[in-house]
Structure 1
Amino acid sequence: MESTEHRVAIIIPSRYGSTRLPGKPLADIAGKPMVQHVYERALQVTHAQVVVVATDDERVAEAVRAFGGQYVMTSPDHLSGTDRLAEVMAHVKAGIYINLQGDEPLVRPSDIDTLIAGMLADEQVKVGTLCHPIEAHEATSPDTVKVVLANNGNALYFSRSPIPYPRDGEATQYLKHVGVYGFRRDVLADYGFLPQPMLEHAEKLEQLRLMAAGYCIRAYQVAPTGPGVDTPDCLEKVRALMSGEPLITVPTLDDIRLVITDVDGVLTDGGIYYDATGECLKRFHVRDGMGMRLLEENGVRVAVLSGRDSATLRKRVADLGITLCRFGVTDKQAACHHLMAEAGVDAAQTACIGDDCIDLPAFAACALSFAVADARTYVKAAATHVLTSTGGTGAFREVADNILIAQGKGAVLTTAAGYRQVMARMAQ
C-alpha cells in the first residue's frame, strides 16, 4: 500500500451560513462563485496532490459539481474550519492537510507552496501557518490577528491586541497572521479531543487551543497578502481588484501629517467674553495645548485656522509654539490648501476639526474631518468622524490621542518613559 506520509491534501472549508455575509462561498466574482476562484488557485499549488471542498450545504456542493471540483459533505455542527477538516480525514487520506479558507479568492499558490515545502523539509513541524509584516495602524485593529515569533520561527503567541507592545515608544515590527494552516495527520486527529482553554475563549482564536496543549506552530513569512472576504465591503474591494478596476482607498489616521483646527467652538466652548476695555477673552482647554505639542513632537504638524482675529488668540497660539496659522479667514477651503502647501503635505495627509457651517469648506479640502460632539447636526453629517468631546473640553486632544495611537506612538501618552522623551518641550 502506498504511504501517505508525504501526500498533501488542500481542504477548503466552505460554509454557506456566514453571519456577516450569508451565501459567501457562492458570491459572484468576475462571473464565478468565490469558492471556484479559491479552488482553481489551490490546483496551482505544485506540492499538493489533492484539492477538496468541505461543505455543509447542498447549494455549495452543487456549485462545486458544476465547475468539476471535488467535495465532501460534512456536519453542520462544526464550530471551526479545523473541526470540519478533521472530519474530512476519514474520506481523504494524506500525511499533511492544508486548511485553506474558502473566502480567500486572492490567495497566492506560491504562499501555500512555501508552507508545504517548509513542513516537508522538517518533520518536526507538526503545525504550520503563514504571516507577513504590517504597519502600526493596522496592528491596532482587533480584526487583524497578530503573531510574535521565536528565533526559530515558531509562534510564541497570537492575539487580537497589538503585540509586542512598544512600552518605551520604540519602533516595533508587527506580523499579521494569515489564516492558512498545515496539519500533520496525527495532530488533526487529536484536535477534536483537546480542551478549549481560557485563551481561546477570550481571544476567539482556535490556534490557541493547540498552543495551550503544547503544540508548536511554525510560521513562515510571505509578502503582504490581498484581502479576504468577511463583509460586503470586503467583497466589493476584492471584486474591484480581480476585475482590474482602480481601488479607491480611504486615508486613515496613520496617513495624517497635518491637523488643521478651528478655534471658536473647538479649542474654546464658543463663548466670547469682553472685559471693560473691550478686549476679547477666550477660555482654552490645557489638554488641547498638550495634544498640539505631542503631535508636533511626533512628526504631525498642527495649524490653527480661524474666522476671527484677536490679540488673545495670537498670544495663545504663540505660547504653544504653533507657527502654521491663519486668522480672520473668510475662505477656509483656500486657506487649508495654503497651509498644506506650507507644511509640504497633500489633502490625503490632512485632517481638520470644526463645529459650524463656516468649517464645511475646510471639511471639503481635507481627507479626514472631525466634528465636535456639540456641532450642528448638518456639520456632523458632513464630517468623516464625530468626536465624543464637545468644543472647549478636549476635542482636539481626542483627535491627537487617536492619531498618536494609530501611528504607534501611544507610549508617549501611556508610559512615563515614553513621555520623558518629549516632556522638555511640552506646553499646555
Structure 2
Amino acid sequence: MTDKPSVVIVIPARYGSTRLPGKPLADIAGKPMIQHVHERALQVAGVDQVLVATDDERVASAVVAFGGRAVMTDPEHPSGTDRLAEVMRQVPAEIYVNLQGDEPLVRPQDIQKLVEGMLHDDSVAVGTLCHVIDADEALNPNTVKVVLADNGDALYFSRSPIPYPREAVEASYLKHVGVYAYRKQVLQQYAGLPQPMMERAEKLEQLRLMAAGLKIRAFLVEPTGPGVDTPECLERVRAIMQGEVFTEAVPTLADIRLVITDVDGVLTDGGLFYDATGECMKRFHVRDGLGMKLLEENGVRVAVLSGRDSATLRTRVADLGIGLSQFGVKDKAAACRELMALAGVQAEQTACIGDDSIDLPAFGVCGLSYAVADAPAYVKQAATAVLQTEGGKGAFRELADAILEAQGRQDVVSSAQGYSSVMSKMAQ
C-alpha cells in the first residue's frame, strides 16, 4: 500500500499589483492580508506544508514575522503557473495547490474539498473550483465561466456567457474560482506547452492545459466572498471581516464608459411620418449625432436600443458609425446586459436614456439612468436624474456634454483647439 501523496499549498503574493500596489501587506483587522490567507490555509487538513511565494523582500519579511515560510521567486514570471513551477523545483511534493494571496475570505473547507478530490482520483491532472452565478454576472467578461461534463470535468472556460441562451432559453451558469491543484507532472511539462489560439484570445492560461489534453476537474462549492483587486474591493473585505456594513459607491458620470439610448422620444421627438411608399420617416437632431461621435472619440461607447426597427433608423445609425445597436427589442433589460457584455463594461459603468414605460427595465439594470424633460412623471421618478432638454431637441447631447465635462474633456466642446483634435472624425 502506497503512502498518501504529499500536498503543499503555495500562496503567490506579488508586491507590485498595478491596481493596488503592496496589497499583500494591506492591513485588514490588524493583520496583513497575506497573513489572513496563510492562517486559513493552515486549517486545511491533510496538507504537509503551507508557504508564500513572493518576488519582494518586504512580503517575505512580513511572512517570516508572523511565523510563516516564504520562498523567493523570479519577478519576471509570465503567469502564476510558471511561478508555481519554480517553487516545485525548491519544495518537493506530489500535489501543489495554488491559493491566491488576495483571497482573505477563502473558506478552508473549499480547499479541503479540492485536496480530497485530487487525492481520491489520481486520473485528475488539475483540480479547481466553481460556483453558481446568475445571468447578470455571467455577462461580465471579468467573470470567467466554465461548463462541465457530467463527471465534473471542465469542457471549456470563457469570458463570454456559456452556454449561450439562444432564443431566450433559460440557461444556468458556473463561475470559475481561480484556485488550482496540480500534480507534479503537470508543472514539469507546463513551460514546454505551446500557447494555443484560444488562450491568446481569452487571456486564460488554463486553456493551455485543456488544449494539451489535460483533464481539469472542477469541484462545486457555495458562492465565495470577494477577493481584493482594487482599493474599493479592499474596503469591502475590511467591512465584511469586521462585521460592518459596506455601502457601495454610487456611480458618477466620471465612471461611465457606455451610454445606451432609446430612439423614439429621445433621439427623435416621437413623431412618426410615412411617405407614399409606406416608409417611416423620423426627425433626428444633428447635435445628438455630434454628441455621440464626441463620446466615441473620447473613450465612451454609444449603443442605440430601439423597440422599433426600420430602414430609416438603421440608415441613421450607420451614418453615425455606431457599432453597438439592437432593433425591434422586446426585453430592454436583457438587451442592455448584452450590450454591456459586448462593450466589455459593467452596470456601474453604464448610463441609459429613456422617455417612457418601455425604458424602465433598462433603468433597472444600468448604473445611471436619465429621463428626457418631457417624459411622464413616473418615468422621471424612476430615473437617476432628469435632463433639462426634451426628446428630439438635443437631450442626448446634453448628457454627452455632461459626461465629457465630468471626465475632464470639456475642451472638445468648449474650445476651438479642443474640438480641432477630433474634428476630422466628426459627423452629424
The 3 A distance-change label for structure 1 pair 208 and 118 is: same
Residues 262 and 305 in structure 2, CA contact (< 8 A), matched pair in contact too: no
The 3 A distance-change label for structure 1 pair 67 and 370 is: farther
Aligned residues, how many? 328
Amino acid in the other structure paired with 2:370: I
Distance in 2, matches of 1:178 and 1:347, equals 28
1:244: which partner in 2?
243
Residues 98 and 179 in structure 2, CA contact (< 8 A), matched pair in contact too: yes
Distance in 1, matches of 2:57 and 2:49, equals 21
For 2:168, what is the secondary structure of its paired residue? coil
Distance in 1, matches of 2:263 and 2:87, equals 64
The 3 A distance-change label for structure 1 pair 264 and 74 is: closer
Distance in 1, matches of 2:138 and 2:90, equals 39
Amino acid in the other structure paired with 1:287: S
1:287: which partner in 2?
306
1:423: which partner in 2?
none
> 1:73-106 deviations in whole A, cap 9, x for unaligned?
1111111111111111122222111000101111
Distance in 2, matches of 1:382 and 1:361, equals 28
- 1:374 paired with 2:397, answer yes
- Looking at CA atoms only, which structure, 1 or 2, has the larger radius of gyration? 1
Amino acid in the other structure paired with 2:20: L
Residues 360 and 382 in structure 1, CA contact (< 8 A), matched pair in contact too: no
Residues 307 and 330 in structure 2, CA contact (< 8 A), matched pair in contact too: no
2:53: which partner in 1?
54
Residues 269 and 283 in structure 1, CA contact (< 8 A), matched pair in contact too: yes
The 3 A distance-change label for structure 1 pair 92 and 296 is: closer
Distance in 2, matches of 1:114 and 1:216, equals 17
Amino acid in the other structure paired with 1:183: Y
- 1:220 paired with 2:250, answer no
1:144: which partner in 2?
143
Structure 1 residue 45: deviation in Å? 0.9
For 1:105, what is the secondary structure of its paired residue? coil
TM-score (structure 1 length as normaliser) = 0.66
Distance in 1, matches of 2:101 and 2:333, equals 46
Amino acid in the other structure paired with 2:200: H
Distance in 2, matches of 1:286 and 1:53, equals 49
Distance in 1, matches of 2:168 and 2:241, equals 39
For 2:306, what is the secondary structure of its paired residue? helix
- 1:106 paired with 2:105, answer yes
Residues 4 and 95 in structure 1, CA contact (< 8 A), matched pair in contact too: no
2:409: which partner in 1?
none
Amino acid in the other structure paired with 1:354: A
For 2:186, what is the secondary structure of its paired residue? helix
2:268: which partner in 1?
268
Distance in 2, matches of 1:94 and 1:173, equals 37
TM-score (structure 2 length as normaliser) = 0.66
Residues 14 and 54 in structure 2, CA contact (< 8 A), matched pair in contact too: yes
Compare 145-154 and 235-244 and name the one that shifted more: 235-244
Identity %: 58
Show the 5 A alignment for 1:190-229.
190-229=189-228
Distance in 1, matches of 2:4 and 2:92, equals 9
- 1:189 paired with 2:198, answer no
The 3 A distance-change label for structure 1 pair 368 and 172 is: farther
Distance in 2, matches of 1:122 and 1:215, equals 14
Distance in 2, matches of 1:73 and 1:169, equals 51
Distance in 1, matches of 2:74 and 2:356, equals 66
Distance in 2, matches of 1:152 and 1:212, equals 19
Structure 1 residue 36: deviation in Å? 0.8
Residues 127 and 181 in structure 1, CA contact (< 8 A), matched pair in contact too: yes
2:11: which partner in 1?
12
Compare 46-55 and 262-271 and name the one that shifted more: 262-271
For 1:46, what is the secondary structure of its paired residue? coil
Distance in 2, matches of 1:286 and 1:188, equals 48
Distance in 2, matches of 1:262 and 1:196, equals 43
> 1:346-398 deviations in whole A, cap 9, x for unaligned?
98999853245x88998984475687531257865999xxxxxxxxxxxxxxx
Extract unaligned runs of 5+ from structure 1.
253-260, 274-281, 301-321, 326-339, 384-428
Residues 251 and 349 in structure 1, CA contact (< 8 A), matched pair in contact too: no
